[in-house]
Every structure is written in structure tokens, then in C-alpha cells.
Amino acid sequence: MLFIARQRAALPSPPTTTSQSDTPRAMENSTSWYNSSESLRTLWVTVPPAGRVQDGVQDGMQGLSLPLQVFFGLAMACMLLVAFLGNVVVCVMVYRRAAMRSAINILLASLAFADMMLALLNMPFALITTVTMRWVFGDVFCRVSAMFFWLFLLESVAILLIISVDRFLIIVQRQDRLSPRRAKVLIALSWTLCFCMVFPLSVGYPALPMPPRAPQCVFGYTAERSSSAYVLLVMLLFFFLPFLVMVYTSVGILSTLRHNTLRIGTRSDSVGLGQMGKLGLSSLSRPFHINIDMSFKTRAFATILILFCVVTVCWMPFATYSLLATFSSSFYGSQSFFEISTWLVWLCYLKPALTPLIYFWRIKKFRDACLGLVPKHCKLLPQLSGHARRRIRPSTVYACGEHRSVV
């Protein structure tokens, strides 16, 4: 500003009176003064305004440092590969093997499909935006990608809700009502309902701010009550309420399992003391088949509980962040909003990569199918025959339940 004031003071003033002989010289001086003032006016206008976009990041908004860009780029690339390939193996295994098409496996395959599509249709574009800190795919695709993002998130929550209620009915209520056909009907209904709920995002309602405010299109601050009501409805009805139901079912299942375990232990002690003189000490070492059945149910429920904990840790912060960004203008306009968004989006994309690893750790059939895909020359340990495996671990021969035996 001081430089501009000096330039203005140094400019020659236009002549007030001129004679007829000095007319050409006066016109020349007036023209030079006009050109100087025009250049100064251009200099004044081209001063960069506050809040403009520069290098993909708005002025006043803190971007990512180079180490963070490298970290998020490598992490998202690894998560993309693991999430896509691992969930493809789950879907193919359930589709190709008839023995794997039980109700619970069909639900897990639908969950894997949602995670696979999330990794395929959203993670690559978030990766590019995180590295370049600008959205280069247009406004229309921004809205469509946001619709897909919330569709796959809500569908995953819906599938976990169905599985939790099914485990609750089996273990607590002793009612096994979910057949493969009913599972397919519930999957179709959940996909339809979630799609109807998120479809308005693709047509611009509510309006979504484009990056670089975030690495992808997310909910932003809005003064419209209808848009705020839509975000609140999505979060409460399709996100937080299912989580509360899953917490209730998990607590009920854990309480029932604890009660059954204590009852089995008390019964075994009473039987052992009452028949010790008649049957001898050998009767105490005989396992009760109800204990084997409860162990089977406990392990199946433990896998679902681990999935629920992973979803809670990975997605609950992002849901809370979306509510804060919608209703708090100070939070949405903060300088560190882009960095916070990147961390929470990265945490949100961590869940599709962890799900196949949980399947590999907890489900033996999935682990065997994954190992069967590995070429023979890449295996470190030799493949043992079935007879040798049974001699090493006799407990893997069979597991007896109350109504069935699995060989």
C-alpha cells in the first residue's frame, strides 16, 4: 500500500489550462498520465483476494505437508489392493462353493461386495485428491461418488445389523429363522432402501461442497434446514440407531453366553461329585457335547463382535465429523479441516482392508481357500495329508453339536 501511495504521488497531474500552441504537447502528457493511472489501476485490481484457491488449497486453510502426502498415498494404495483382492476372494468363494452358501455366509459375501465396491469406486479418487490436493473429476462425478460412498457405508451397517439380530435370535432366543432364501430377500431390501436414501445426493440435494475442502465430497456447513434435516436423518436413522441395536444384541449375547458357561460348569461339578463313587475319576474327563456346541457358537459370535468393533472404530468418528461439519460453521471453516478430513477418510477406508484379514484369521474355510490360491512353489511349508493333520490335531476330526455333527 505504501508503494502504491508513492506511485500515485509521483504521477504527473493533468494540465488544467493549455494554449493553442501547446495542444499537442498537452495531449501527449495527458495520454501518458492516463496510461500510468491505468497500469496502477490494473496493479490495484490484481492484488490476490483473501480466500482464493491457490495450488489446490484455499488461502487460510492448512494443507498437507509432503511427508503426510507420501504417507497417505502409500497407505491408501496398500489398503486399496488388500480391500479389493481380499473381498473378491470372499465373493468368489461363496459363489463357487455350494457348501459355503449358508445364510450367514451369504450375508458376509454381501458385506464383502460392499467393501469391494467402496474400494473400487471411491478409494482411487480420494487417493488422487489427497496427493494433488485438488478435485479434477468435475462437479457431477463429485456428487455421484458421494452417493456411492454413503451407499456402501450404510449397506455395510445394515448387513452387520442383520447378522447381529440373527445371532441374537439363535443364541438368546434359541430361534434359527434365517434361511438362505430369507437372507437374500433381506439383502435385496437393504440395498434398495439404502439406495433410495442416498440417491438425492447424486442430483445435488443437499448441495455438497467440492474439494479442496476435503479429499472427497463430504457434508459441509449449510444454513438450509432441509439439508440439515436430511443429514441428521441419515446419521440417526441409518447409522447411530443400528449401532445402538447392535450394542444391545451384543450385550444380550455376552450375558447369555456367560450364564450358560456358569450353568455348564455347575452341572459338571454336581455330576462329578454325585457319580464319583460309581463311575470313577474317568467320568470327570469326559466332555459334554453341549459345551462343544457353546464353544462353536461363541467362536462364531466372536467373529461378528470383532467386525462390529472394527466398524465402530473406523466409521463412528467419520459420522460424528459429518454432523459437526454440517452444523458447525467454525469447525467447517477451520484451517485444519482438510487435514482432519484426510485422517478420518483414511480411517474410514481402513475397514474394507481389515475385513478380509479378519476372515483369514477367524474362518478356517476362508483361510484354506486363500492358501489354495497360492502357487505350490511359493508355499514355505509342505502340504500335509488329511490323515497326518488328524494325527497332529485330533480335535479337528469332528465337532458335535446339540442337533448336528460337522465333519
More confident residue, 25 or 144: 144
Measured from the Cβ of residue 319, the count of other Cβ atoms closer than 10 Å reads 20
Gyration radius of the chain's alpha carbons: 33
Averaged confidence pLDDT in the chain? 74
pTM of the full predicted structure?
Answer: 0.71
At residue 309, does pLDDT exceed 70?
yes
At residue 109, does pLDDT exceed 70?
yes
Measured from the Cβ of residue 286, the count of other Cβ atoms closer than 10 Å reads 11
Instruction: Band the pLDDT of 113: cuts 50, 70, 90.
Output: very high
Query: What would the pLDDT profile of 51-75 be if each residue is shown by its tens digit?
Result: 333 334 444 445 677 888 888 889 8
**Of 182, 183, 159, 163, which is closest to residue 171 (Cα–Cα)?**
163
Q: What is the mean pLDDT of residues 118-140?
A: 86
At residue 83, does pLDDT exceed 70?
yes
Q: Hey, what domains does the chain have and what are their CATH numbers? A: 68-364 (1.20.1070.10)
Q: What is the mean pLDDT of residues 136-140?
A: 84
Instruction: Band the pLDDT of 375: cuts 50, 70, 90.
Output: low
Dihedral sign for Cα atoms in the order 211, 215, 216, 222: negative
Q: What is the pLDDT of residue 94?
A: 87
More confident residue, 137 or 64: 137
Q: What is the mean pLDDT of residues 144-150?
A: 91
